[in-house]
Structure formats: structure tokens, C-alpha cells
């Protein structure tokens, strides 16, 4: 089997595309789709075993992939990483700023270290990657960047540190799109809602118990797939989005809209798209479908 993408198979032929956080979840799925479309994918993350495994999957499927470990929160490490990748592979044509992470907690219980750690992971690291890719490569050759956000449009109760970081990334996306447009660099973002991904299995306690019920708060009455996020990322990286820059695309089944005054009716005709041949359902959702 191979990735069943809706895009043409040679869409990114000859292009080097970095995917941070490519060792699992949405990053893993996106890396597979990009490789299936001809890209040479470079996986970046902190855990070598996960990156190596995904790169192996891609090569086994006939794609091209390399991997490098890096803590994207460290400025010198990011500068060195990008320099080495350019030296080894040539110009960087695309960057998927996917790496991130958070933990559930009310604001009153988040200490300074926890708040700053999530901000560095979800905002500072993405900024450093984008800045270095731009300064060292895209400023000379052009390119496209897609940043990862989340559904934080009405605040993010229970994860205020992540909401603050993601909101900052939304603004950073707009600023960089404006400042870097002269060089032929486009910067956009995606904001997934509730997606059936391996990240769901990292939560414990009360939040874990809530996950299977999330679909009830989505007008489409289902949780999204990794492929539905990946397809949006691929579109924004592609020539079809050549005049789109500074935009954030919500991928949440309209869950971020409306309010409690309007009831969500029983859904009909809501079908998901899953082109990822190696996708698997998170344990927390098994037997809940």
C-alpha cells in the first residue's frame, strides 16, 4: 500500500522539506504524504528512535527521508542544524513547523518553569526554525513555511500556556509573511481542532476521560484525521497556494464557531478522509468509534 494523497505524485519532486516533530502524530503523517509526492523529507525532533523509525517507514514505501535530532528551543543548535542540512542537501524549499507539546492544567496551577517551557516549545522553537531557514536559505531561493497552531480562538481553558503560545504563532505567521514576502517566501499556518492522533494517548486523568466525548461538541459530530491536517499543509506548501500568505486555516469541523445558544444537531453525511496507509487509531478512542 502507499499513501493515498489527492495531490499529484510529483508535486514536490526535487524539493527538500523539513518537518519538525516528524517522529509521531501529524508530523509523521505529513512527512509520509510529502515523501509520497516526491519530496526529500528531513525529519527533525529530539528522539532519534522515533525519527529513525519514521524515516525507515518512508524509505520502505519508496520515498526519500533523512533525520536529525535537535532541541529547537536552543538557538545555537537550530543555527547549526539548518547550516548542516543545507550543506548536506542544498536549499530548503519548505518547512513544516509542527513540533510542539503541552500538558493540561488550570492557569492557577502552572508555575513559571512550566509556562516558559511550553512557550519555548510551541512558539520560540518555531520562530528559531523559521528565522534560520529564511536567513540561511529561503531569503535567497524563496520557499514556503507552514506553522502549527491549535483551536485557541476562544481562549484555551485548561491549557492556557499552549493557547498563549499558539496565539503568538498566529501573529508571528502574519508578521513573517509580510516581512519575507519580498523574497518569494510564503508563511501560513494550520489550526487543527480535535484530531485522532497518537498525541491523545499522552494525556491522563480527567482530560483523558473527556477525549472520547469531544466529537459531541463538533458540528460534524466526529474527530478529524491526521490526513485531513496533512492535506491542508500540503496545499499551503504547493504552487496552488502561491498567492496565499499570512493566513491560518482552521481544521476543526467548525467546532471553534457558534456558541451554547445554538444546539448541535445529530450529524448526517459527515465522512472523514484518511489517505494515510500507516495510520492507527489512538488507544483512547478504540471501541469508541
- pLDDT for residue 206 is more than 90: no
Mean pLDDT of the chain: 94
pLDDT, mean of residues 221-240: 97
pTM of this prediction? 0.93
Longest dimension (CA), the chain: 56
- Going from the C-alpha of 287 to that of each of 4, 47, 64, 281, 284, the distances in angstroms are 25, 30, 35, 10, 9
pLDDT per residue as tens digits for the range 244-266 = 999 999 999 999 998 878 888 88
**What percent of the chain has pLDDT above 90?**
82
Gap between the Cα atoms of 179 and 185, Å rounded = 9
User: In the prediction, which pLDDT does 256 show?
Assistant: 93
- pLDDT for residue 187 is more than 70: yes
- pLDDT for residue 6 is more than 60: yes
> Domain 16-254+278-285 belongs to what topology?
Rossmann fold (3.40.50)
Q: Would you give the end-to-end CA distance of the chain in angstroms?
A: 24
User: In the prediction, which pLDDT does 149 show?
Assistant: 97
User: In the prediction, which pLDDT does 288 show?
Assistant: 55
Domain boundaries, the chain: 16-254+278-285
Amino acid at each position: 500500500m502507499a499513501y493515498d494523497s489527492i495531490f499529484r505524485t510529483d508535486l514536490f519532486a526535487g524539493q527538500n522539506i523539513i518537518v519538525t516533530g516528524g517522529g509521531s502524530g501529524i508530523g509523521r503523517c505529513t512527512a509520509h504524504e510529502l515523501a509520497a509526492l516526491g519530496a526529500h523529507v528531513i525529519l527533525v525532533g529530539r528522539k532519534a528512535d522515533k525519527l529513525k523509525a519514521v524515516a525507515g517507514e518512508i524509505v520502505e514505501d519508496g520515498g526519500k527521508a533523512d533525520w536529525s535530532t535537535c532541541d529547537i528551543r536552543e538557538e545555537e543548535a537550530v543555527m547549526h542544524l539548518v547550516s548542516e542540512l543545507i550543506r548536506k542537501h542544498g536549499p530548503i524549499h519548505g518547512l513544516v513547523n509542527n513540533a510542539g507539546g503541552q500538558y493540561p492544567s488550570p492557569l492557577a496551577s502552572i508555575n513559571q518553569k512550566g509556562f516558559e517551557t511550553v512557550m519555548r516549545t510551541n512558539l520560540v522553537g518555531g520562530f528559531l526554525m523559521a528565522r534560520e531557514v529564511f536567513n540561511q536559505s529561503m531569503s535567497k531561493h524563496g520557499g514556503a513555511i507552514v506553522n502549527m497552531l491549535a483551536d485557541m480562538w476562544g481562549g484555551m481553558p485548561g491549557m492556557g500556556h499552549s493557547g498563549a503560545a499558539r496565539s503568538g504563532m498566529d501573529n508571528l505567521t502574519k508578521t513573517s509573511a509580510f516581512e519575507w514576502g519580498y523574497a518569494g517566501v510564503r508563511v501560513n499556518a494550520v489550526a487543527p481542532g480535535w484530531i485522532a492522533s497518537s498525541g491523545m494517548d499522552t494525556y491522563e486523568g480527567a482530560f483523558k476521560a473527556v477525549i472520547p466525548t469531544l466529537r459531541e461538541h463538533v458540528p460534524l459530530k466526529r474527530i478529524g484525521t491526521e490526513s485531513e491536517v496533512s492535506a491542508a499543509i500540503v496545499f499551503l506548501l504547493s504552487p496552488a497556494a502561491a498567492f496565499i500568505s499570512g493566513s491560518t486555516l482552521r481544521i476543526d469541523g467548525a467546532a471553534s464557531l457558534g456558541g451554547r445558544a445554538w444546539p448541535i444537531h445529530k450529524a448526517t453525511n459527515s465522512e472523514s478522509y484518511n489517505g494515510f496507509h500507516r495510520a492507527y487509531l489512538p488507544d483512547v478512542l478504540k471501541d469508541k468509534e
